[in-house]
Amino acid sequence: MEVKNQKPRENMLRIAKTVSEALPYIRQFAGETFVIKFGGHAMGEEALTKRFAQDIVLLKSIGVNPVVVHGGGPQIGKMLERLNIKSDFIDGLRVTDKDTVDIVEMVLSGSINKEIVSAINQAGGLALGLSGKDGGLIKARKLSRTVKDPDSNIEKIMDLGFVGEPTHVNPMVLEDLLESNVIPVIAPIGMGEDGETYNINADTAAGAIASALGACKLLMLTDVAGILNKDKELISELSAAEARALISDGTISGGMIPKVETCIDAIEHSTEAAHILDGRIPHVLLVEIFTSHGASTMIKSENYGLPSDREALLRF
């Protein structure tokens, strides 16, 4: 009598259950555009980058149109340190003088962009790297910050140098690529009216691109689980209005505020839902998109195409 190991059978049943659970979501999102911001520590780990690339290729293969926007703060910092160029921050934004912006462009549009493109291509996709300067993709203007002196209460405008914010995104550049079955991988560099190069926060660039494309989803990979309530519990889902209320009462604070504001802005400009995910979790994109429980916080618009209860979709 032959006795078989039950482990392979259990694994196969688990895989079958997962595929069955994902099917309604696959049908729902076929043909939709997802803008995905890749950043945080996941970019610095080869295994996580490889899994991310596999997830992007899988999304493309089932009919989703992924657009990747990446950051690169730690890599830029290492290069500046290697070149003995001092770099300061104001409200989390790197003060970028002429020398610094040249290094920023070199790192973002060069080594980082090509590493992500190569990873996606090695996973079986067809990726193309570009920056916001290519094809006039991202027009930008100088960004400034106002800081209030805690002692005098006097507001002072801080000069961030060549740090910019998007003024216009040309969606035709990306739409043409998506129609050609290409996965765009974008470095967040923009061009000013007089040809200046601007360093743009990757979250901000991703939000602007999602709005311009009318993307179904904006997915932001970070180093946090998502939005937490006052008891430090993960909030799975909330509306833009609820997210604003959490900022007002201090529940959302610090560096999470600009991320959430970017999500809200995208939702108010035609993106249906925005997600804040922990990019350190392997295959977190697939867990969030194709399971009923998700893995992050979803901020949704009032006319979001899915039922507010993720479980309800399984009844379709």
DSSP calls for 82-123: HTT----EETTEEPB-HHHHHHHHHIIIIIIHHHHHHHHHHT
**Beta pairing partners, 128:** 184
Q: What is the pLDDT of residue 310?
A: 42
- The answer to whether position 174 is within a domain reads yes
- The answer to whether position 77 is within a domain reads yes
Q: What is the pLDDT of residue 23?
A: 79
Residues in the chain: 316
Q: What is the pLDDT of residue 28?
A: 85
Q: What is the mean pLDDT of each run of 10 residues along the chain (316 residues)?
A: 54 61 81 92 83 95 95 81 76 74 88 94 96 94 70 62 90 92 96 91 95 94 89 90 92 87 91 92 89 84 56 37
**Cα separation, 156 vs 142, whole angstroms:** 16
Q: Which of 236, 209, 225 is CA-nearest to residue 130?
A: 209
**Cα separation, 60 vs 122, whole angstroms:** 14
- The answer to whether position 93 is within a domain reads yes
Note down the domain range covering 172. Answer: 30-315
User: pTM for this one?
Assistant: 0.86
- The answer to whether position 25 is within a domain reads no
Q: What's the CATH code of the domain at 44?
A: 3.40.1160.10
Catalytic residue IDs: 37, 40, 73, 203, 259
Q: Which of 292, 275, 265 is CA-nearest to residue 225?
A: 275
Could you give phi then psi for residue 253, rounded to 5 degrees? Answer: -145, 175
- The answer to whether position 160 is within a domain reads yes
**Cα separation, 210 vs 53, whole angstroms:** 20
Q: What is the pLDDT of residue 7?
A: 58
Overall number of domains in the chain = 1
- The answer to whether position 13 is within a domain reads no
Residue 235 is given by DSSP the state: P
**Cα separation, 206 vs 202, whole angstroms:** 6
- The answer to whether position 15 is within a domain reads no
Tokens of 83: 């070149």
**Residue for token digits 């780990």?**
45
